[in-house]
Amino acid sequence: MSSRFLTLADVAETLNISASQTYALVRSGELPAIKIGGRGQWRVEASELEAYIARMYAETAVFVKEHPLTRDDLMPEAIVD
């Protein structure tokens, strides 16, 4: 049975980002989380992580559509024809 809640370390591993980046996502409110227990440990609901990932795919799709690749994007500037 998979767990309903994930630690920030679990989220960081899933997204392949650092723990500090995960903490920043939570503290900014970009990734909803709760603080539980006397020590105030952060937990992210698995469904919230999946919703966040879906939002990032949607935002990336919009970015790609609005910023199509150009020849300059494909060729390093150091290479001169």
Q: How confident is the model at residue 73 (pLDDT cuts 50, 70, 90)?
A: confident
Task: Give this prediction's pTM.
Answer: 0.81
> Residues 42, 33: contact at Cβ < 8 Å?
yes
pLDDT at 80: 53
Give 42's strand partners: 35
What CA–CA distances, in Å, run from 4 to 18, 48, 49?
22, 10, 11
Cα–Cα dist 74/57, whole Å: 22
Second CATH level (architecture) for the domain 5-68: Orthogonal Bundle (1.10)
pLDDT at 72: 78
The DSSP letter of residue 1 is: -
pLDDT in tens, 8-66: 999 999 999 999 999 999 999 999 999 999 999 999 999 999 999 999 999 999 999 99
Domain boundaries, the chain: 5-68
